Amino acid sequence: MNIIENSRKGAAIDSAYGYKDAISKYYITELAKNPNYSELNGNYTVNSDGSITGENEQNYPISFSGTSPKGGSLTIDKGTVTEGCLTIGDYALTLTNSEVTETKKGDCSSLVQGDESANYKDNIKFPEDENETYITEVYLDPTNLETECTEEKAKGNSTTGTKEGCMRWFVYDDEGENYTMILDHNTTNYVAWVSKVDYENDSKAGEVGITYSGGSALEGSYGSYGNNNKGPLTVLAKLKEDTSNWKTDEIPSSDNYTATWNYSGKDYNYTVNYNGYKARLITAEEVAKITKNDRSDDSYAISSTPEENWGLGSGEFLLDRATGNCYDNNNCDTEGVTSKYWWLFDNTKECTTYGCKTADNSTLGYWTSSPHAGGSSFAWEVYRNGRLGLDYVRNASYCGVRPVITVSKSKFLQE
């Protein structure tokens, strides 16, 4: 564990104890006002504002100067927290006999007191290593979500081109009632981001759900290396084809993607409307956020000289750059060790050289839905060397399709 992670974990533990003491002080204060005070006995839900709510639905504000929990549940005996779970920062902290006995990455919704798997089906597996950067891995057959998938059944289905059967997915967003997850391999090995044929087909944008709000997106020609101003026409068509028989939930409208940029003094923009899609493409912005390269968390120091905030016109970066494995943007210390983000580029050609766990020589990476704002012929890709990189949009021999889906959390819970 690196120094930064150790410090964060320690701070979360300190906050848990501080919050527990604040509940005790609240009880003592109320008891001093009323010797017959009998509240704060039983089971309580911890709310996002740090207050707690009892089974009688009465709310109790807890005044606390530290980092308040943003969720969890507690059992309280006369003002003393005896057991439960608190979500503080990036950690779920388990309390037993009034002591913090376990600290894991994630939130309390992904933990069950005493037994992590007690309320879950066999199609979900929480990481044993608290330093993993994905939330959990799950096993699903996208053509039939009722199939009883397990880790064992998913083995052997992580090869490029596999589109059905029990497969492994990595959850990277668990906000709300759904999991957002990316497949652990490509459904298509190679495809252009936008081909000349599709670029010059006036009806293609409508077929794949791309709309423009400005005429500048239609200016210019395809050129020698391709043009990104109309969006990922070809890779979206391939995504639709690959997932045509999937039975997954439709992509929510909140996941529609809009790219807006200026190049050579002209404004460009397009929107991908995923209405009717069963899967979508990951965005370059999401990759930057997952890997902390968007500078959303300044406790991750980037030793090279990055832009203050990463954007579509920024430079390529190694995924591990922000979190300690890379000395600079061209020298990543992954030889012989596992990348923190191995799951984002696993199952690509010779990727074990760069820190992934399993190589698949069938593909070099996969496209995002994002254009590069600093050049008309480039789009963003996740590449086999653990990099968010750039490639010519015409290139049909490097990157392919790696679907992202949204699935209700209920699919992983026992009834």
pLDDT in tens, the chain (415 residues): 344 566 778 888 999 999 999 999 999 999 999 988 989 999 999 998 889 999 888 999 998 878 889 888 999 999 999 999 999 887 888 988 888 988 877 777 655 433 444 478 889 998 877 778 899 999 999 999 999 999 999 999 999 999 999 999 999 998 778 899 999 999 999 999 999 999 999 899 999 999 986 555 556 788 899 999 999 999 999 999 999 999 998 888 889 999 998 888 888 899 999 999 999 999 999 998 898 776 544 333 333 334 445 566 677 788 887 555 554 445 555 555 688 899 999 999 999 888 899 999 999 999 999 999 888 899 999 999 888 999 999 999 999 999 999 999 888 887 6
Of the three residues 81, 110, 139, the one that is the final residue of a domain is 110
- Whether 210 and 348 map to the same domain: the answer is yes
Report yes or no on 120 lying in a domain.
no
Residue 123 lies in a domain: no
Structural domains in the chain (count): 2
Same domain, 80 and 206: no
Burial class (CB in 10 A: 0-12, 13-18, 19+), 155: exposed
Say what the pLDDT of residue 410 is: 85
Q: Tell me the whole-structure pTM to 2 decimals.
A: 0.72
Q: What is the pLDDT of residue 219?
A: 65
Distance CA 340, CA 337 (A): 9
Both 96 and 201 in one domain: the answer is: no
CA distances from 169 to 120, 149, 152, 154, 191 (A): 16, 12, 14, 10, 22
What six digits make up the tokens of 348?
């690509």
Pick the last residue of a domain from 53, 81, 110: 110
In a domain, 216, yes or no: yes
The reply to whether 391 and 260 lie within a common domain is yes
Q: Identify the burial level of 14 via C-beta atoms within 10 angstroms of its C-beta, where 0-12 means exposed, 13-18 middle and 19 or more buried.
A: middle
Task: Please give the pLDDT value at position 378.
Answer: 93
Asked if residue 51 is part of any domain, the answer here is yes
| H helix runs in 313-367, sequence order | 342-345
Residue 18 lies inside a defined structural domain of this protein? yes
Domain span at residue 39 reads 3-110
Give which of 138, 127, 133, 92 is closest to 111, Cα–Cα.
92
Q: Answer whether residue 168 is part of any domain.
A: no
Q: What pLDDT, on a 0 to 100 scale, did the predictor assign at position 151?
A: 94
Dihedral (Cα; 131, 134, 139, 142), 10-degree rounding: -170
Task: Write down the residue that tokens 């005070």 correspond to.
Answer: 37
Same domain, 285 and 391: yes
| Domain stops at, among 110, 131, 162 | 110
Q: Which two tokens stand for residue 257?
A: 């993607």
